[in-house]
Amino acid sequence: MGSLLNYITRRVLFAIPVFLAVSIITFLVTNAAGDPVQIVRLGIRNLNPAQLKAIQDYFHVNEPLYTRYFLWLSDLIRGNLGQSLYSGSVAGKVVPWIGSTLELQIPALLLALAIGIPIGIYSAKRQYSKSDIAVTTTAIFGISMPTFWLGINAILIFSLYLRWLPSFGAISPYPPWWWGNIYTDQLAHIIMPLGVLTFVSLAAIVRLIRSSMLETLRQDFILAARASGISDFRVTYKHALKNAVTPVITVVGLTFGTLLGGAPALETTFGWPGLGYEFVLSATILDLPVVLGITMIITAMVLAANILTDLVYALMDPRVRL
Amino acid sequence: MNSKETQYTRRSAGQWAVAWRRFKKNKAGLAGLAIVASFVFLAAYGLLLDPVPARSFGCLYQGCTNLPPFVDSAHPLGTENSGIDVWNEIIHGSAGDLYVGIGATVISVVIGLSVGAVAGYRGGVSGAVLLGLTQIFFVLPVLVIILLFAKIFLFLLAQGLALSLIVLTLGLFGWPLFAFIARGEILRIRELEFVQAAKSLGASGSRTLFRHIVPNLLSPIIVLSSLAVAANIITEVVISFLGFGDPTTSTWGLIIQEGFDHIDSSWWVAFFPGIAVVICVLGFNLLGDGLSDALNPRLRE
């Protein structure tokens, strides 16, 4: 057990330089955009000198770059994300939407795993059969599609043509969709983005499981298991699956970051009030402190997902802990 | 005796010919190659002949705005709200998107191969530092950082440079997987007997690396490159769709964005360029799968 603790400590310590690297890159890039005062002035023309002075003081405009970075970083570590360039605090603009991004991402990932693993196994067991060809063809189309474009097509069919589902937001102001109930209304809003995200992740997971399973089924220990008279079901779902699923878990955990990164386009398409949509809105109006805050929160989420993946991997495969 | 010798030399020289023979039997891979070739042709046609300039608003004055598809043979896929022809945008967009997809992949391969080669072959402190750097770049939330780069630098730079800037940014953040693969392969290959043989015959370090090791790690890199082009095209489409790209250059994402703004009146503007994206990306993915089967026969059957 000590070695597992050791392993996890190493992974957590590795997260620190990554977090710092992202903070340096994003801070430098947002600084290149220029003086916050100038950006505020693009939107608000008639600032009086006292207001200008207050903005300059708040963003330490007259300090050198590294001082500004360390002031921002020390605030960030203490959990203070600072003030937006326009109104309110960054935390107030960002934190409420973390939950709504996860509300979409986590069910999509779990659904995709729950559906994708059995389909991938089925496809591998019947390699080159008609059903396998149907599965692999659908899957390669699935991974070749921008998620948001599939979303646009879903809106065309289910919102504009059939008028079954709402196309925008997470909740309607009035009247609610489907039987006038607040819960069914939320359900109606989440179905399309969740379905689209699940389909695209599903395609990737099916391909991974299929190829990993094919490779495992070819190995000697499977032949040995079969030779000792273990049933086909047990060989497939106990011996082979356990070995085939471990590398897939790693890839899925690592791509969870990519999924989170893919959120901006999907959330913008469906007007889903998540971190990605807020990022796009803030970057469009150059609200740099909000953009910085969201980037760091997404980085922290990606790192947490990676550590969790490593933990699951270490629990499943004892060789890793050595 | 003599004929036997020539047979051996021919067989060892024909590594790529063997791979090509295997590739030719793979229908999906060939379909991928055909798709990629037709998009290259389409891009060249748009760039060299340029029958209708990109983003031309000519239709605005001829009353053919917002035309549905398959109605007017001059505008087979319809026109947009301000008279831009959808088919013409697909042609011009293919040049832009292939430039981003392939250009960024070339940059990633160069960086990844160099970093991976040094990390794998040299080892030691510099190898450890490079490996750590690769691991850091691997877990960065890349799309968010690329969007940030695109937004800020496009805001500062001249617009003609915008697409090249996106190529550079995608390339600079897309190399870690290439570095991991190059390093892993080098660690495996340098222990093989033919490398030991080359060394004991007195080959220098750089000769061993570039003449004996690098050619043998090319096949996984080629496979990954094809898949990376596909991924880079999708990322570019996302960047343009979100309005973080160059609004003056035709790309598929830009016209999809314009179509999405008028989705309730003209569905075809967002639909057909998306079909072009799917077919093109599918082509590179099929090509990658086909190359993987042809170059790594171990994984077959």
What is the rounded CA–CA span in Å between residue A163 and residue A186? 16
Residues 6+ apart with CB under 8 A from A77: none
List Cα–Cα distances, B92 to A79, B32, B52, B57, B76, in angstroms: 47, 21, 9, 15, 15
Q: What is the pLDDT of residue A64?
A: 85
List Cα–Cα distances, B215 to B185, B220, B222, B298, in angstroms: 11, 11, 11, 18
Cβ separation A21–B140 shorter than 8 A: yes
List Cα–Cα distances, A317 to A247, B264, B285, in angstroms: 10, 52, 31
- Angle formed at CA A267 by CA A264 and CA A270, multiple of 5 degrees: 145
Indicate the range of A166-180, A197-211, A216-230 predicted with least confidence.
Answer: A166-180
Q: Read off the pLDDT band of A321 (50, 70, 90).
A: low
**pLDDT tens digits for A84-122?**
887 788 888 888 888 888 889 889 999 999 999 999 999
Tokens standing for residue A302: 């990606």
Mind giving me the DSSP string for A56-80? HHHTTTTS-HHHHHHHHHHHHHTT-
Q: What is the pLDDT of residue B26?
A: 87
Number of Cβ atoms within 10 Å of the Cβ of B50? 13
Of the partner residues B156, B242, B263, the one whose CB lies closest to the CB of residue A268? B242
pLDDT over threshold 70, residue B160? no
Q: What is the pLDDT of residue B245?
A: 85
Mind giving me the DSSP string for B227-283? HHHHHHHHHHHHHHHTT-S-TTS--HHHHHHHHHHTTTT-THHHHHHHHHHHHHHHH
Tokens standing for residue B95: 């040049």
**pLDDT tens digits for A33-55?**
777 777 777 777 777 888 888 88
Query: Which helix (H) or strand (E) covers residue A238, if one does?
Result: none
List Cα–Cα distances, B180 to A213, A321, B218, in angstroms: 23, 21, 13
pLDDT over threshold 60, residue B234? yes
Residues 6+ apart with CB under 8 A from A142: A199, A200, A202, A203, A204
Work out the minimum CA distance from B282 to partner chain A, whole angstroms: 5
**How many Å is the Cα radius of gyration of chain A?**
24
**pLDDT tens digits for B175-196?**
999 999 999 888 888 888 888 8
The residue that leads in pLDDT, A20 or B66, is: A20
Q: What is the pLDDT of residue B71?
A: 81
What is the rounded CA–CA span in Å between residue B162 and residue B46? 19
The residue that leads in pLDDT, B235 or B215, is: B235
What is the rounded CA–CA span in Å between residue A105 and residue A269? 15
* Chain B residues closer than 8 Å to A156 by CB: 263, 267, 271
Query: Which helix (H) or strand (E) covers residue B298, if one does?
Result: none
- Angle formed at CA B223 by CA B217 and CA B227, multiple of 5 degrees: 140
Q: What is the mean pLDDT of chain B?
A: 85
pLDDT over threshold 90, residue B112? yes
Residue A287 φ/ψ, nearest 5 degrees: -80, 80
A249 and A305 in contact (C-beta within 8 Å)? Answer: no
Q: How many cross-chain Cβ pairs, A to B, lie less than 8 Å apart?
A: 125
Of the partner residues B152, B267, B285, the one whose CB lies closest to the CB of residue A144? B285
pLDDT over threshold 90, residue B151? no
What is the rounded CA–CA span in Å between residue A279 and residue A291? 6
* Chain B residues closer than 8 Å to A269 by CB: 260
pLDDT over threshold 80, residue B123? no
The residue that leads in pLDDT, A33 or A139, is: A139
What is the rounded CA–CA span in Å between residue B183 and residue B114? 10
Number of Cβ atoms within 10 Å of the Cβ of B254? 25
* Chain A residues closer than 8 Å to B143 by CB: 258, 261-262, 264
The residue that leads in pLDDT, A316 or B160, is: A316
Which of these, B81, B60, B55, lies nearest to B266 by C-alpha position? B81
Average pLDDT over residues A136-151: 93
Taking CA–CA distances from B233, the nearest residue in chain A reads A146
Number of Cβ atoms within 10 Å of the Cβ of B2? 6
Residues 6+ apart with CB under 8 A from A283: A291, B147, B148, B151, B244
Q: What is the mean pLDDT of chain A?
A: 86
Taking CA–CA distances from A275, the nearest residue in chain B reads B144
Cβ separation B139–A155 shorter than 8 A: no
DSSP 8-state assignment for residue A173: S
Cβ separation A283–B148 shorter than 8 A: yes
Percent of chain A with pLDDT over 90: 26
**pLDDT tens digits for A268-301?**
999 999 899 999 999 888 888 898 899 898 888 8
Cβ separation A17–B152 shorter than 8 A: no
Number of Cβ atoms within 10 Å of the Cβ of A241? 18
Which of these, A295, A292, A205, lies nearest to A256 by C-alpha position? A205
Tokens standing for residue B62: 């001829």
* Chain A residues closer than 8 Å to B155 by CB: 33, 286
Environment class of A319 (CB within 10 Å of its CB; exposed 0-12, middle 13-18, buried 19+): exposed
Dihedral angle, C-alpha A293, A294, A300, A303, nearest 10 °? -140
pLDDT over threshold 50, residue B300? no
Q: Read off the pLDDT band of B101 (50, 70, 90).
A: very high
With tokens 């499981």, the residue in question is A209
Of the partner residues A30, A149, A264, the one whose CB lies closest to the CB of residue B274? A149
Work out the minimum CA distance from B241 to partner chain A, whole angstroms: 8
If DSSP codes are grouped into helix, strand and coil, which group holds residue B68?
coil
A243 and A124 in contact (C-beta within 8 Å)? Answer: no
List b or e across B71-97, with b for residues whose CB sees 16 or more CB atoms inside 10 angstroms.
Answer: eeeebebbbbeebbbbbbbbbbbbbbb
Q: What is the pLDDT of residue B67?
A: 81
Q: Read off the pLDDT band of B159 (50, 70, 90).
A: low
* Chain B residues closer than 8 Å to A159 by CB: none
Work out the minimum CA distance from A30 to partner chain B, whole angstroms: 7
Number of Cβ atoms within 10 Å of the Cβ of A281? 15
What is the rounded CA–CA span in Å between residue B70 and residue B264? 19
The residue that leads in pLDDT, A56 or A196, is: A196
A158 and A246 in contact (C-beta within 8 Å)? Answer: no
pLDDT over threshold 70, residue B6? no
- Angle formed at CA B270 by CA B265 and CA B271, multiple of 5 degrees: 105
Length in residues, chain A: 322
Q: Read off the pLDDT band of B106 (50, 70, 90).
A: very high
- Indicate if the alpha-carbon torsion angle A248, A254, A260, A263 is positive or negative: negative
What is the rounded CA–CA span in Å between residue A104 and residue A274? 9
Cβ separation B244–A160 shorter than 8 A: no
What is the rounded CA–CA span in Å between residue B116 and residue B182? 5
B245 and B251 in contact (C-beta within 8 Å)? Answer: yes
Q: What is the pLDDT of residue B301?
A: 41
Mind giving me the DSSP string for B111-165? HHHHHHHHHHHT-HHHHHHHHHHHHHHHHS-HHHHHHHHHHHHHHHS-GGGHHHH
